[in-house]
C-alpha cells in the first residue's frame, strides 16, 4: 500500500523541514522526486541522503515567486521524466505581526511566496497533469482556521491556500486531478529552532516546552508525521478524496478552548 512506483513527484521547498521529510518519504515509496528550491545546499543534502538510501531524487533550482522560472522548471521535469503525477506546494515563509505592525512590504513578501508561489506552481503544472490526471497537495495551516496571536499575514495567506485548493479541485475534476490540502499545527523543524534562538536567547528550552504544550496532545509534530499524511493523500489509496483539508495539529483546531 501507498507505493508511488512510476510516479514523478514535484516538491517545492523540498530541501528542509516538512518538504525534506515529504521528499524522503515519497522517494522511499518509489517516486522520482524533483525538489524545487532556492536553497541549493539544503536541496543537495536532501538529494544525497535520498540517493544514498537507494531512492531517486533530482534538483531544479527555482524561486516559486518567479513565474517564468517555475514554468521552465515544470516543463523541464515533464520533458525529462516524461510525466508529472504529483505536485506538493510546500514552499512557504512565516511572518510575525498584527494588522498594525505588518507593513505593506511585509504583506507583499508573504503573499508573493505563500499565495502567488502556490498559484505559479499550480498554473505551470496543470497542463502536464491534465494529460493523464494526477494530484496537487497544498500545505495550508491550522492558522487558516483559528485565531493565532501575531499571525495576521501568515494566516491570511494560508486561508488563501485552503480556498485555492477548493477551487482547483472543483475546476479540474473532469481531468482526473485531485487537489487537497494539509493544515499542520506546530511542527518541530529547523525554522522553530532558529526562531527560538533568535527571539528567546537563553530561554530556548523553556519556550519550546511552552509552544509544544499549546497542542492538546502535548507536543509538536515531527516532519515525517506530516509527510506520512501527504503520502496517503498523494497515493492511489486516496483516489476518492478531493477538495478536502486535513488538519494534523495534535487537536489544536478542535480541542483548544
Residue 183 sits at φ, ψ, to 5 deg, of -120, 90
Domain boundaries, given as residue ranges, for the chain: 8-185+223-246, 188-220
Instruction: Quote the pLDDT of residue 257.
Output: 58
Task: Say if CB 30 and CB 53 are below 8 A apart.
Answer: no
Task: Kindly report, residue by residue over 76-117, the tens digit of the pLDDT.
Answer: 999 999 999 999 999 999 999 999 999 999 999 999 999 999
Instruction: Quote the pLDDT of residue 27.
Output: 98
Residue 44 sits at φ, ψ, to 5 deg, of -65, -40
Residue 46 sits at φ, ψ, to 5 deg, of -65, -45
Residue of 34, 154, 172, 232 marked active site: 154
Q: Name which CATH class applies to 8-185+223-246.
A: alpha beta
Cross-strand bridge partners of residue 210: none
pTM: 0.96
Instruction: Quote the pLDDT of residue 195.
Output: 81
pLDDT along the chain (257 residues), means of 10: 97 97 98 97 97 97 98 98 97 95 98 98 98 98 94 97 98 98 95 86 93 93 98 98 97 84
Which residues have CB under 8 Å from 185's CB, separation 6+?
142, 215, 220, 221, 247, 248, 249, 250, 252, 253
Rounded CA-CA distance 19/41 in Å is 14
154 among known catalytic residues: yes
Amino acid at each position: 500500500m501507498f507505493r508511488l512506483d512510476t510516479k514523478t513527484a514535484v516538491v517545492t521547498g523540498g530541501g528542509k523541514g516538512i518538504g525534506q521529510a515529504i521528499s524522503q518519504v515519497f522517494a522511499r515509496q518509489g517516486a522520482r522526486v524533483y525538489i524545487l528550491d532556492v536553497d541549493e545546499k539544503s536541496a543537495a543534502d536532501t538529494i544525497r541522503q535520498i540517493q544514498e538510501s537507494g531512492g531517486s531524487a533530482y534538483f531544479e533550482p527555482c524561486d516559486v515567486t518567479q513565474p517564468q522560472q517555475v514554468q521552465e522548471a515544470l516543463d523541464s521535469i515533464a520533458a525529462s521524466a516524461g510525466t508529472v503525477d504529483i505536485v506538493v506546494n510546500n514552499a512557504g515563509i512565516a511572518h510575525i505581526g498584527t494588522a498594525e505592525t505588518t507593513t505593506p512590504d511585509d504583506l507583499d513578501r508573504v503573499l508573493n511566496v505563500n499565495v502567488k508561489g502556490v498559484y505559479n506552481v499550480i498554473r505551470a503544472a496543470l497542463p502536464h497533469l491534465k494529460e493523464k490526471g494526477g494530484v496537487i497537495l497544498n500545505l495550508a495551516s491550522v492558522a487558516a482556521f483559528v485565531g493565532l496571536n501575531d499571525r495576521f499575514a501568515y494566516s491570511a495567506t494560508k486561508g488563501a491556500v485552503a480556498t485555492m485548493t477548493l477551487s482547483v479541485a472543483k475546476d479540474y475534476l473532469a481531468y482526473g486531478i485531485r487537489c487537497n490540502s494539509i493544515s499542520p499545527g506546530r511542527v518541530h523543524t529547523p525554522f522553530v529552532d532558529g526562531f527560538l534562538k533568535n527571539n528567546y536567547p537563553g530561554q530556548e528550552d523553556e519556550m519550546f516546552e511552552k509552544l509544544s504544550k499549546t497542542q492538546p496532545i502535548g507536543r509538536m509534530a515531527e516532519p515525517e508525521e506530516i509527510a506520512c499524511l501527504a503520502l496517503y493523500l498523494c497515493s492511489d489509496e486516496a483516489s476518492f478524496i478531493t477538495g478536502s483539508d486535513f488538519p494534523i495539529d495534535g487537536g489544536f483546531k478542535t480541542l483548544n478552548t
